[in-house]
Homo-oligomer: A and B are copies of this chain.
């Protein structure tokens, strides 16, 4: 049973959120539970007094956490008794998920109380619910998940999409990924004219699958009117190299690449740790090198680049890692805030609409 009425009347803004940029937060479902999520909200609120929160979850659990973290002035709670676990199947959530915090968090975007929702829950369920509750943007065939990738570019990141919303993508989908990804780079990374690359096994134009060659010419044609620069095919090694701000690929390849990179980074971190623990002398060196190692760790820490963003829906959903702690949750909220502040959801919708209109004009 929802008990919204306890908090605020439908259609009016609760006093805690007046003048704020509101983020809808699914407070349950992460590996570390609601305490970590609320702590993450508090970290963000401290840095940024403009943020307001709608927290969705079990009121009895959330209320003491909100009090403890001094969030009462910028936060309302929506009671949602049920939780989507990591094991819950997407189909079950779609049929019977109405009482869950995830459903409630997405519905705040559906009802225009917030333009961006954040959840640490199960990706499959979150994508499925977002699809049915928010629906696809007109002109979008396949929504995508975009992630930020540490890179040598000036912004320090590259946007990569799709990293797992769908295992297929044809040439029109890849074109839409280019449009959505560059809109994300403009609004999330403040890059006025993002450089877009299309992921392939080589940079020569004759290489790769047929849909990639078709997408190459579609994206090249769309670039001049769409405020991005198309740099053509890029390879896996180019993702962190910094010459592209947006990397476009299908969700199968993108998902494998993302997880492979995470696995590689974690293997190297482990090797580094072992190297320093190896002898007495190396332990001393490690102590002296502590700040250097911290600096490295800060640059490669996945918690600081936390948040896959669902693009192509009526509203924006930020998926935080299930294992996110307060720092990780705070990073995801920061991203959601930046996007909400920039009016990203509306800008993206306008961008996709104008391009699909101009493509219809051409045909």
Copies of this chain, whole number:
2
Is A284 in contact with chain B by the CB < 8 A criterion?
yes
Is A295 in contact with chain B by the CB < 8 A criterion?
yes
Give the residue of B151, B263, B271 whose beta carbon is less than 8 angstroms from that of A296. B271
Q: What's the nearest-Cβ distance from chain B to residue A232, in Å?
A: 16
Is A275 in contact with chain B by the CB < 8 A criterion?
yes
Please state if B251 and A276 are interface contacts (CB–CB under 8 Å): no
Q: What's the nearest-Cβ distance from chain B to residue A243, in Å?
A: 12
Please state if A292 and B263 are interface contacts (CB–CB under 8 Å): no
A273 to B, closest residue via Cβ: B296
A251 to B, closest residue via Cβ: B201
A255 to B, closest residue via Cβ: B201
Is A223 in contact with chain B by the CB < 8 A criterion?
no
A288 to B, closest residue via Cβ: B285
Is A152 in contact with chain B by the CB < 8 A criterion?
yes
Render A82-95 as a binary contact track against B, CB cut-off 8 A, 1 for contact: 00000000000000
Please state if B235 and A267 are interface contacts (CB–CB under 8 Å): no
Please state if B209 and A252 are interface contacts (CB–CB under 8 Å): yes
Please state if A268 and B300 are interface contacts (CB–CB under 8 Å): yes
Please state if A275 and B256 are interface contacts (CB–CB under 8 Å): no
Q: What's the nearest-Cβ distance from chain B to residue A269, in Å?
A: 8
Give the residue of B201, B238, B259 whose beta carbon is less than 8 angstroms from that of A164. B201
Alpha-carbon separation in the docked complex, A255 to B235 (Å)? 9
Is A355 in contact with chain B by the CB < 8 A criterion?
no
Q: If A235-B256, A282-B289 touch, does A265 touch B268 (CB 8 Å cutoff)?
A: yes
Most chain B CB inside 10 Å of its own CB: which residue of A239, A260, A275, A282: A260
* Interchain Cβ contacts under 8 Å between A and B, 17 examples: A164-B201, A167-B201, A167-B208, A209-B252, A235-B256, A236-B259, A236-B261, A236-B262, A237-B262, A240-B267, A256-B257, A271-B300, A272-B296, A275-B299, A282-B291, A285-B292, A289-B289
